[in-house]
């Protein structure tokens, strides 16, 4: 790329170092999204370290970590921001739904420690190298990972019912309520 | 579960650390929080926060209800400062559907936000001395907050969980004589702020409890993702209202108070307290300006009744009383969101607590927790 391109493209250094990244500016409003290759062995940690340490980006603030369950694959999204350069971007990596694993980035940003625990809790993604990976919002003996799309809640938790039986008799929204028999507590 | 078995082993005399349980029901935890504390005598060697008691799976609910239907749930994310949560979510959806908000609605939103910020800071300022043993300021602060609750009730009919904002604007215009009522409130509020200094900030007992305590540097705060007044107390002036202006904040004149280490170390509990007090005064100035510059016009923009957006994501955040509160919304063509992620300030602050509350006295833990202004429902969502 020429010098002009270097000046105009704020993501020049990144795309030069990682040409395999796909820059997507359409999906997220007002924010560039970098999509990592779907290769299972691809190390997203190198990209994140580069973002943190390169002077042109200096992403010192990990805003959050989010996962979207696309039914066939889990998409992990890192939201990065730099106080010094005021740049922000998303980095996304798709991982398999069966036995999902990723490298922990809690040594790059200590903030990631709890965000990764939350993602482990709600989606079941295991972060290798995490100092203390355990459930955070749900009890330690909870079954399943609730934010997955195919999650079904157990009927009981430690012998306590998780649903109110009389609520199941409510007519659904699509049916005509007037034809139903009056609600009785079960 | 796993703590129970350890508890019996460590409760013997010896050179081991003693394990103490604090919470989940404890008057100074501001909600339902639990801490497992490992102490050596009076000194805390390790503290593990155990959160999740107020987890209501609001993110999962967001996937089940329509975009508009989720607005009342955002009130419950942070019920001490519900307006800002409303505002952040409304902005995220407006970004998705590319909807413009009328100017009067923007001003009404800012007015509601600033009133709510004062109400939230009054809780923080009032409960802080109460947690460390002084009850009087709490009564004074709550007296002022009660007036804001009355104003909010006049504005939108609710006193705590407002559901005032809509996608594209706000629900209600100003009620009759609202401006006069706000000015009357501000008049008594300035008196309260002046009273606060001799009551607390010049009080030797209070200063001895909070100065030099729980200080952390700007670099640590950034690394742990600390936002809002806790970040500004370290001397770093980052405020979304100035640095990434939303609504019409760039038209208003206000300062960002930062910690200066006046009474002790930079970024200690006193600085966090002081920043909140100064922020309340700035919010009061902002309210005066907003009322003075309030334009005429519509209060609700044109937003579609059924929102269907194909494969688009949006992230929007506002400066809540506890810092950046952001909503990340993923849409896939359905009238409900495919995924909603909430980024809250208390979650980050709580994750830093084990680092701050190390080698401090057991009694000071309460002072540190309260100075971070943690609100449990915002941590657990």
Mean pLDDT (chain A) is: 81
Three-state secondary structure readout of B318-360:
EEECCEEEEEEEEECCCCECCEEEEECHHHHHHHHHHHHCCCC
Report d(CA B252, CA A104) in Å as an integer: 42
pLDDT value of position B107 = 92
- Prediction ipTM score: 0.85
Average pLDDT over residues A23-48: 84
Nearest to B55 among A28, A63, A137 (CB): A137
Tell me whether residue A54 is in a domain: yes
pLDDT value of position B151 = 92
With CA atoms as reference, the chain A residue closest to B92 would be A29
CB contact, 8 Å: B348 with chain A? yes
8-state DSSP, B29: S
pLDDT value of position B265 = 84
Tell me whether residue B48 is in a domain: no
pLDDT value of position A176 = 54
With CA atoms as reference, the chain B residue closest to A89 would be B315
Residue B316, min C-alpha distance to chain A (Å): 10
CB contact, 8 Å: B59 with chain A? yes
Cβ contacts of residue A48 below 8 Å, gap of 6+?
Answer: A78, A80, A91, A105, A108
Tokens, residue B53: 């008691």
Q: Which of A154-158, A168-172, B167-171, B180-184 has the lowest mean pLDDT?
A: A168-172
Give the three-state DSSP class for A168: helix
Domain that holds residue B124: 58-380
Residue B144, min C-alpha distance to chain A (Å): 34
Tell me whether residue A33 is in a domain: yes
B312/A27 touch (CB, cutoff 8 Å), yes or no: yes
Task: Provide the domain count of chain A.
Answer: 1
Residue B366 clears pLDDT 60, i.e. is over it = yes
Q: Which of A159-163, B267-271, B304-308 has the lowest mean pLDDT?
A: A159-163
B351/A66 touch (CB, cutoff 8 Å), yes or no: no
Tokens, residue B133: 């043993």
Task: Provide the domain count of chain B.
Answer: 1
pLDDT value of position A54 = 83
Tokens, residue A74: 């889990």
pLDDT value of position A1 = 46
CB contact, 8 Å: B258 with chain A? no
Tell me whether residue B22 is in a domain: no
Residues 274-333 of B with CB under 8 A from A: 311-315, 324, 326, 328, 330
Summarised one tens digit per residue, pLDDT across range A134-170 is 888 888 888 888 888 888 888 888 878 777 765 556 5
Per the CB < 8 A criterion, the answer to whether B340 and B119 are in contact is no
CA-based max dimension of chain B: 73
**Interface probe, candidates B218, B351, B379, chain A, greatest A C-beta count within 10 A:** B351
Which residues on neighbouring strands pair with residue A35, listed in sequence order? A22, A92
With CA atoms as reference, the chain B residue closest to A33 would be B313
pLDDT value of position B4 = 54
Q: What is the CATH number of the domain that holds A128?
A: 3.30.460.80
A110/B224 touch (CB, cutoff 8 Å), yes or no: yes
Nearest to A111 among B98, B330, B348 (CB): B348
Residue B318, min C-alpha distance to chain A (Å): 13
Report d(CA B321, CA B335) in Å as an integer: 31
pLDDT value of position B9 = 52
Q: What is the CATH number of the domain that holds B304?
A: 1.10.645.10
B225/A141 touch (CB, cutoff 8 Å), yes or no: no
Tell me whether residue B345 is in a domain: yes
Residue B179 clears pLDDT 60, i.e. is over it = yes
Domain that holds residue A138: 3-149
pLDDT value of position B182 = 92
Mean pLDDT (chain B) is: 87
If we measure between CA atoms, which residue out of B123, B151, B163 comes closest to residue B139? B123
Percent of chain B with pLDDT over 90: 28
Q: Are strands A160-161 and A156-157 parallel, antiparallel or unpaired?
A: antiparallel
Residue A184 clears pLDDT 60, i.e. is over it = no
Tell me whether residue A92 is in a domain: yes
Question: Hey, what long-range contacts does A35-41 have (CB within 8 A, 24 or more apart)?
Answer: A35/A92, A35/A93, A36/A91, A36/A92, A36/A93, A36/A94, A38/A73, A38/A94, A40/A95, A40/A96
Q: Which of B28-32, B228-232, B246-250, B298-302 has the lowest mean pLDDT?
A: B28-32
If we measure between CA atoms, which residue out of B169, B150, B118 comes closest to residue B284? B118
Which residues on neighbouring strands pair with residue A156, listed in sequence order? A161
Tell me whether residue B2 is in a domain: no
Per the CB < 8 A criterion, the answer to whether B206 and B273 are in contact is no
Tell me whether residue B100 is in a domain: yes
Tell me whether residue A182 is in a domain: no
**Interface probe, candidates B34, B52, B244, B337, chain A, greatest A C-beta count within 10 A:** B52
**Confidence tier at B330 by pLDDT (50, 70, 90):** very high
8-state DSSP, B267: T
Report d(CA B72, CA B67) in Å as an integer: 11
CB contact, 8 Å: A32 with chain B? no
- The residue with greater pLDDT, B336 or A163, is B336
- The residue with greater pLDDT, B12 or B140, is B140
Verify cis geometry, omega within 30 degrees of 0, for the bond prior to B24: yes
pLDDT value of position A186 = 46
Summarised one tens digit per residue, pLDDT across range B96-125 is 888 889 999 999 999 999 999 999 999 989
Summarised one tens digit per residue, pLDDT across range A46-76 is 888 988 888 888 888 998 899 998 888 999 9
Report d(CA B275, CA B277) in Å as an integer: 6
């Amino acid at each position: 790329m020429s010098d002009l391109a270097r000046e105009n493209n704020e993501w020049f250094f990144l795309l030069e170092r990682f040409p395999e990244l796909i820059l997507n500016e359409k999906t997220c409003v007002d924010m560039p999204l970098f999509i990592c290759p779907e290769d299972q062995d691809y190390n997203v940690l190198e990209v994140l370290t580069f973002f943190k340490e390169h002077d042109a980006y200096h992403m010192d603030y990990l805003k959050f970590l989010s996962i979207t369950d696309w039914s066939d694959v889990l998409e992990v999204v890192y939201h990065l921001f730099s106080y010094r350069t005021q740049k922000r971007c998303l980095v996304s990596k798709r991982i398999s739904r069966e036995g999902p694993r990723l490298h922990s980035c809690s040594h790059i940003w200590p903030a990631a420690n709890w965000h990764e625990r939350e993602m482990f809790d709600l989606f079941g993604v295991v972060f290798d190298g995490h100092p203390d990976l355990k459930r955070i919002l749900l009890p330690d003996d909870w079954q399943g990972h609730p934010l997955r799309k195919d999650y079904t809640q157990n009927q009981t938790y430690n012998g306590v019912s998780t649903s109110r039986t009389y609520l199941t008799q409510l007519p659904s929204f699509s049916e005509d309520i007037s034809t139903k028999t009056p609600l009785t507590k079960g | 579960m796993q703590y129970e078995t350890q508890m019996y082993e460590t409760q013997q005399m010896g050179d081991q650390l003693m394990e103490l349980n604090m919470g989940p029901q404890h008057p100074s935890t501001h909600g339902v929080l639990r801490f497992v504390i490992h102490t050596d005598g009076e000194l805390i060697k390790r503290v593990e926060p155990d959160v999740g008691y107020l987890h209501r799976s609001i993110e999962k609910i967001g996937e089940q209800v329509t975009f508009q239907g989720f607005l009342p749930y955002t009130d419950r994310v942070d019920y001490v400062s519900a307006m800002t949560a409303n505002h952040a979510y409304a902005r995220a959806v407006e970004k998705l559907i590319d909807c413009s908000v009328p100017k009067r609605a923007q001003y009404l939103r800012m007015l509601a936000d600033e009133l709510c910020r004062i109400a939230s800071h009054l809780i923080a300022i009032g409960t802080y001395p109460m947690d460390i043993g002084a009850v009087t300021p709490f009564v004074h602060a709550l007296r002022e907050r009660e007036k804001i609750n009355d104003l909010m009730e006049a504005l939108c009919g609710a006193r705590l969980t407002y559901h005032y904002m809509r996608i594209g604007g706000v629900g209600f215009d100003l009620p009759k004589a609202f401006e006069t009522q706000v000015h009357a409130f501000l008049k008594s509020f300035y008196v309260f702020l002046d009273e606060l200094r001799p009551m607390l900030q010049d009080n030797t007992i209070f200063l001895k409890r909070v100065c030099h305590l729980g200080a952390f540097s700007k670099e640590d705060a950034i690394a742990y993702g600390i936002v809002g007044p806790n970040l500004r107390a370290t001397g770093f002036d980052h405020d979304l209202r100035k640095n990434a202006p939303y609504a019409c904040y760039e038209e208003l004149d206000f300062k960002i108070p930062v910690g200066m280490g006046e009474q002790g170390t930079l970024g200690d509990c006193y600085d966090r307290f002081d920043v909140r007090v100064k922020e309340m005064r700035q919010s009061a100035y902002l309210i005066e300006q907003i009322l003075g510059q309030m334009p005429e016009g519509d209060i609700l923009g044109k937003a579609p009744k059924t929102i269907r957006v194909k494969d688009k994501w949006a992230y929007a955040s506002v400066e809540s009383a506890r810092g950046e509160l952001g909503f990340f919304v993923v849409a896939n063509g359905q009238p409900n969101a495919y995924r909603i992620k909430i980024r809250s300030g208390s979650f980050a602050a709580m994750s830093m607590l084990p680092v701050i509350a190390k080698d401090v006295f057991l009694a000071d833990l309460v002072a540190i927790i309260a100075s971070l202004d943690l609100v449990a429902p915002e941590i657990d969502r």
